[in-house]
Chains A and B, each alone.
Chain A
């Protein structure tokens, strides 16, 4: 466990030292700040726009950070030959990969912490309401999504070169919602074989939009009459299902990555 933690810490320290995270986070914060400074017709209490832009930036910036960071871990170790002294120590490849994964997830958590601090400060400044339960669930599900993306990036980096792995990971992330809509929409128009293919695609590929609760978080508002929210937090069984769904994909991708990593000649 200590070995996992040490490797994870080194990943995080390296990510912070390379200042890439800072650049992504600062650029994103600059964007959020710019949005807050625009005067929207002197109207007060406009919060959906701010929430939508801020949550979108948070999600995209963190996902890109995770994909790049995770995809780079193993190729870089091989390229710089730093993996040899590490594996010469009594550290198994499972421990090594687990440590890398934990490091990437810590970096994701670091990004979300920074973003959340700014987002919540902005929300307070604008005096707009935020459904705390939904927001907490949004963060939790985003972290599950980052886990799936990180393990997927590990796998891709072991199957292809670094640039291709980053590109494919980013493209899959960007198009996942379009893919989900497309499969659902064209299902009725294809033949029996096509239906099987689409169903297989739906089951075999992780449906990343399921981890994105931002739309409900954006549109949750307290109704004047009655005081209830237009959208409420998800119930426990749904959260458990989502967690299990993400964990299965993460476990499969991690297992495959480990298999390839073990077979990789040093």
Chain B
């Protein structure tokens, strides 16, 4: 018995001594750049029962920030993450968990501001690489910027970005509501304990209109998140986006500084270069912006699967972003150096990919200078 224990101890000691060799077996390949996560992926993950139970208890900085963002924009009210995975699986598109009264549709609605066929905040086409018909969304600089923004942020964030501290939206979604994590009185089995919770915690009847508040108060969380995890690419992107949305030169310069810090920490994340380009354009530094877009395009093309198909490391959001980087490079090249230079650049990009329908379309329109396409590819359409 003693001998067996001795042998086991010796074996354990030997294994411990050789353990430093193990890291040599690890792949030395650098981690590819990328946004790291999409807003829908975060929503989906945080809509799970376990995530809801955990609340703000997270070890993942990305999820913690997602929850913080949701709560801060709703004055602390904890709404259920707005995703319905069943509907998504059935229809192929993401619908928010919003309810409409029976019989409420385009024919019965009298609210002119309500678009019944709208794509709301999650209007992603998940087949960008193969679709040739969805070109309206990629034919202008403004549309490309909007597309990148929609992949990065939720509608609530975009709405709140326009607010200053102290301002709220009287967002009157009278025909739809999102459940709160704290139960309503009718559904609460806890009696007076439930009543007390609704009084003590930020809570509002989900049937009442939502009131969103400014998102600037979130910026320290993004700063802290990127300080604790410099590889949190999404944190840099959204933080810079919030800053840029302040629309003052000082904050736009801060956004530039922040995104450059992100690039220093994640040089291969092509979305960071793309965001840098957008910020530089806002600062009217177009030549530098073009360099950033081209850098984003080069990095993105190197990371993209040749056929652009979605996979574990390449999502529809990556595809949207690389589309934006490539087309923005081409459009700005066209606007600054002319059609021939843009065509050369477009062909050069195209030669590095097996398929890329949006670029094929742009090349065709550049080859036909006299014919103005239905979109505005030929027009100078700076935002």
Which of chain B's residues has its CB closest to A187's CB? B189
CB atoms of A216 and B217 under 8 A apart: no
Q: Within residues 332 to 350 of chain B, which ones have a CB less than 8 A from any CB in chain A? A: none
CB atoms of B166 and A202 under 8 A apart: no
CB atoms of A234 and B200 under 8 A apart: yes
CB atoms of A41 and B196 under 8 A apart: no
What is the distance, in angstroms, from A218's C-beta to the closest C-beta of chain B? 7
**21 A-B pairs (CB sep. < 8 Å):** A38-B220, A38-B223, A40-B219, A43-B246, A46-B216, A46-B219, A177-B55, A178-B53, A178-B55, A178-B57, A185-B53, A209-B197, A210-B196, A211-B200, A216-B202, A219-B72, A219-B213, A221-B165, A231-B75, A234-B199, A241-B192
CB atoms of A210 and B217 under 8 A apart: no
- Residues of B within 8 Å of A199, CB to CB, are 189-190
Contact residues of A: prevailing secondary structure? helix
- Residues of A within 8 Å of B211, CB to CB, are 230
Q: Which of A38, A141, A212, A223 makes the CB contact (< 8 A) with B168?
A: A223
CB atoms of A242 and B196 under 8 A apart: yes
Q: What string of 1s and 0s marks CB contacts (under 8 Å) between B203-242 and chain A?
A: 0000000010100110111011001000000000000000
Which of chain A's residues has its CB closest to B57's CB? A178
- Residues of A within 8 Å of B258, CB to CB, are 41
**Which 5 residue pairs of A and B lie closest in terms of their CB atoms, listed nearest first?**
A219-B76, A49-B220, A224-B166, A48-B217, A41-B254
Q: Decide if B49 is an interface residue (CB 8 Å cutoff).
A: yes
Once A184-B190, A210-B193 are accepted as A-B contacts, the answer to whether A242 and B54 lie under 8 Å apart by CB is no
CB atoms of A46 and B190 under 8 A apart: no
Rounded to whole angstroms, the CA-CA distance of A203 and B166 in the bound complex is 39
- Residues of B within 8 Å of A49, CB to CB, are 217, 220-221
Q: Within residues 149 to 180 of chain B, which ones have a CB less than 8 A from any CB in chain A? A: 164-168
Q: Decide if A42 is an interface residue (CB 8 Å cutoff).
A: yes
- Residues of A within 8 Å of B52, CB to CB, are 181, 185
Q: Decide if A14 is an interface residue (CB 8 Å cutoff).
A: no
Q: Decide if B359 is an interface residue (CB 8 Å cutoff).
A: no
- Residues of B within 8 Å of A224, CB to CB, are 164, 166-167
- Residues of B within 8 Å of A219, CB to CB, are 71-72, 75-76, 202, 213
CB atoms of B167 and A225 under 8 A apart: yes
CB atoms of A216 and B53 under 8 A apart: no
Q: Decide if A186 is an interface residue (CB 8 Å cutoff).
A: yes
Contact residues of B: prevailing secondary structure? helix
Q: Decide if B250 is an interface residue (CB 8 Å cutoff).
A: yes
CB atoms of B76 and A181 under 8 A apart: no
Q: Decide if A195 is an interface residue (CB 8 Å cutoff).
A: yes
What is the distance, in angstroms, from A140's C-beta to the closest C-beta of chain B? 12
Which of chain B's residues has its CB closest to A129's CB? B166
Rounded to whole angstroms, the CA-CA distance of A125 and B182 in the bound complex is 35
CB atoms of B166 and A221 under 8 A apart: yes
Which of chain A's residues has its CB closest to B223's CB? A40
CB atoms of B219 and A43 under 8 A apart: yes
Rounded to whole angstroms, the CA-CA distance of A154 and B71 in the bound complex is 36
- Residues of B within 8 Å of A46, CB to CB, are 216-217, 219-220
Q: Decide if A45 is an interface residue (CB 8 Å cutoff).
A: yes
CB atoms of B189 and A182 under 8 A apart: no
Once A182-B53, A199-B189 are accepted as A-B contacts, the answer to whether A43 and B251 lie under 8 Å apart by CB is yes
- Residues of B within 8 Å of A215, CB to CB, are 76, 201-202
Rounded to whole angstroms, the CA-CA distance of A257 and B192 in the bound complex is 27
Interface centre among A41, A186, A225 (most CB of B within 10 A): A41
The bracket for how many chain A residues form the interface is: 35 or more
Which of chain B's residues has its CB closest to A137's CB? B200
Q: Decide if A65 is an interface residue (CB 8 Å cutoff).
A: no
Q: Decide if B243 is an interface residue (CB 8 Å cutoff).
A: yes
Q: Decide if A222 is an interface residue (CB 8 Å cutoff).
A: yes
CB atoms of A202 and B190 under 8 A apart: yes
Q: Which of A218, A231, A238 makes the CB contact (< 8 A) with B196?
A: A238
Q: Within residues 247 to 301 of chain B, which ones have a CB less than 8 A from any CB in chain A? A: 250-251, 254-255, 258
Q: Decide if A213 is an interface residue (CB 8 Å cutoff).
A: yes
Rounded to whole angstroms, the CA-CA distance of A148 and B255 in the bound complex is 47
Q: Decide if A28 is an interface residue (CB 8 Å cutoff).
A: no
Rounded to whole angstroms, the CA-CA distance of A49 and B165 in the bound complex is 13
Q: Which of A47, A178, A210 makes the CB contact (< 8 A) with B54?
A: A178
Rounded to whole angstroms, the CA-CA distance of A209 and B75 in the bound complex is 18
CB atoms of A181 and B193 under 8 A apart: no
Rounded to whole angstroms, the CA-CA distance of A45 and B183 in the bound complex is 34
Q: Decide if B181 is an interface residue (CB 8 Å cutoff).
A: yes
CB atoms of A202 and B201 under 8 A apart: no
Once A241-B196, A245-B196 are accepted as A-B contacts, the answer to whether A216 and B201 lie under 8 Å apart by CB is yes
What is the distance, in angstroms, from A51's C-beta to the closest C-beta of chain B? 10
Q: Decide if A157 is an interface residue (CB 8 Å cutoff).
A: no
What is the distance, in angstroms, from B277's C-beta to the closest C-beta of chain A? 20
- Residues of B within 8 Å of A202, CB to CB, are 190, 193
Rounded to whole angstroms, the CA-CA distance of A214 and B375 in the bound complex is 52
Which of chain B's residues has its CB closest to A239's CB? B199
Q: Decide if A73 is an interface residue (CB 8 Å cutoff).
A: no
Q: Decide if A207 is an interface residue (CB 8 Å cutoff).
A: yes
- Residues of B within 8 Å of A223, CB to CB, are 166-168
What is the distance, in angstroms, from A213's C-beta to the closest C-beta of chain B? 6
- Residues of A within 8 Å of B255, CB to CB, are 41
Once A43-B219, A186-B49 are accepted as A-B contacts, the answer to whether A216 and B200 lie under 8 Å apart by CB is yes
Rounded to whole angstroms, the CA-CA distance of A251 and B215 in the bound complex is 44
- Residues of A within 8 Å of B164, CB to CB, are 224
- Residues of A within 8 Å of B197, CB to CB, are 180, 207, 209-210
Which of chain B's residues has its CB closest to A199's CB? B189
